[in-house]
Amino acid sequence: MKATVLAAVALGGAIGSVARFVVASLLQSPVWAGFPFGIFAVNVSGGFIMGVLTELMALKFSVSLEVRAFLTTGIMGGYTTFSTFSLDSALLIQRGAMVSAAGYIVGSAVLSILALFCGLWLVRALYG
């Protein structure tokens, strides 16, 4: 792995993480106190932005590995990993791998939430 690619990902990740915090904070309203609207908006906008970026890089602009890593893995990965999940899901669907796509989508959502609960349970069992 080239140091320049890692640096591009690190810099982009910092920018994306700050953007996620700012956007989610600005959009989270007391009206929506029971629903994480700010992060919901980040995830949806991240999917859209990832689609625009990847298609522009594929069809319009030829960019270096560092620029691609900075924009997609870095900024968008820091902004929302949901955008990467969305891209991977779309690629499976576009390739006609519907069973794999369904397994990936449902499995990612269900197993990620289950894993979170397992983590909560483990810490509560050890320290609760």
- Residues contacting residue 91 through CB under 8 Å, at least 6 positions apart: none
pLDDT band at 36 (very low <50, low <70, confident <90, very high): confident
Q: What is the DSSP string of 85-115?
A: HHHHHHHHHHTT-HHHHHHHHHHHHHHHHHH
Which residue shows structure tokens 């983590």?
A: 119
**Ranges of each domain in the chain:** 3-81, 96-128
Q: What is the reported pLDDT for 57?
A: 93
Q: What is the pLDDT of residue 18?
A: 97
**For 113-124, what is each residue's pLDDT tens digit?**
998 899 899 999
Average pLDDT, rounded, for the chain: 92
How does pLDDT run across 44-85, given as a tens digit for each residue? Answer: 999 999 999 999 999 999 999 999 999 999 999 999 878 888
- Quick one: average pLDDT of 97-125? 92
- Assess whether pLDDT exceeds 80 at residue 33: no
